[in-house]
Amino acid sequence: MHGKPALQWWLPGTIAGKPSAEETTAEGPSEEAGLMARVVERHNLLRALTQVQSHGGSPGLDGMTVAALAPSRKAHGLRLTPALWEGSDQPPPVKRIEVPKPPGGGSQLGVPTVVDRCLQHAVRPGLQAPWEPTCAEARVGFRLGRHAPQAGKRAQASLQEGNTGGVAMDWEQVVDRVNHDQVMSEVSKRVHEGRVLPLSHRVLKAGAMAHEARPEPGGGVSHGGPRSP
């Protein structure tokens, strides 16, 4: 419906001279393959699949449900795709939906296809790892193993120490105005994998669609998918 899928997860056997995910896991990723080899390792793909299943959510533009994802994987087995190795894959646009937001109005969300969600979950740890050592200890937002209750406990501890004031801020539409070139410039300073960088750029540029309308390219990052954080 929209060209090639973001990732053909279930191609059988070894393809175009590339090892299968199981073979890559058994032998370990080569230095040449780097981050992309770790992305397509069997345990990493299964972890990404489990995350998508646990989060649930509605289908993307292709209509595929989360419930339909696991049976497809079991039927054909997880394998690498030549599109990822060759850089010829094209992530599809996200589905644009609006959800009510109190006290009024709505919030625009972008729903990726379930396969694209798997891909983004598989890539995410490798992109986050270079930033973790540089994050302030008090920061919990969008970090692996961190969650909102931890922020609440820190606020309570601050009150017990005698602090009586606080500031809450919300930058309006900050995510909608993210500059893709600036994002990729910062990512390229810390990630040097020749396949992952252009893949990340294509995910950013995929755009959004409302129903069957024309894709909406441009800046910003859609709320609602793994790529947003």
Residues 59-78, mean pLDDT to the nearest whole number: 76
Residue 159 in domain:
no
Indicate whether 81 belongs to any domain. Answer: yes
pLDDT given for residue 17 in this prediction: 39
Question: Domain for residue 95, yes or no?
Answer: yes
Q: What percent of the chain has pLDDT over 90?
A: 2
pLDDT value, residue 81 = 62
pLDDT band at 14 (very low <50, low <70, confident <90, very high): very low
The percent of residues above 70 in pLDDT, for the chain, comes to: 75
Q: How confident is the model at residue 33 (pLDDT cuts 50, 70, 90)?
A: low
3 located within any domain = no
pTM above 0.85, yes or no: no
Domain total in the chain: 1
* Residues 6+ away with beta carbon under 8 Å from 22: 42, 78
**Do the domain assignments include residue 218?**
no
Per-residue pLDDT band at 126 (split at 50, 70, 90): confident
What is the structure's pLDDT at 190? 87
Query: According to DSSP H, which parts of the chain are helical?
Result: 21-27, 34-39, 42-55, 69-76, 82-86, 114-128, 148-160, 180-190, 196-204
Full residue range of the structural domain in which residue 185 is found: 21-134+142-150+173-209
Q: How crowded is residue 32: how many other Cβ atoms within 10 Å of its Cβ?
A: 8
Per-residue three-class SS string for 73-109: HHHHCCCCCHHHHHCCCCCCCEEEEEEECCCCCEEEE
Residue of 195 and 170 predicted with greater confidence: 195
Amino acid 75: pLDDT = 57
For the stretch 131-152, pLDDT in tens is 888 888 888 888 878 888 998 8
Residue 13 lies in a domain: no
Say what the pLDDT of residue 223 is.
77
Does residue 164 lie in a domain region? no
Answer with the residue of higher pLDDT: 190 or 6.
190
Give pLDDT, residue 208: 79
* Residue 229 lies inside a defined structural domain of this protein: no
Quote the longest CA-to-CA distance of the chain.
64
Q: Are 129 and 148 in contact (CB under 8 A)?
A: no
Statement: residue 103 has pLDDT above 50: yes
What pLDDT, on a 0 to 100 scale, did the predictor assign at position 6?
43
- Provide mean pLDDT across the span 26-46: 66
- Mean pLDDT, the chain, as a whole number? 75
Q: Which of 24-33, 71-80, 84-93, 189-198 has the lowest mean pLDDT?
A: 24-33
pLDDT digits (tens, 9 = 90+) for 80-92: 566 777 777 788 8
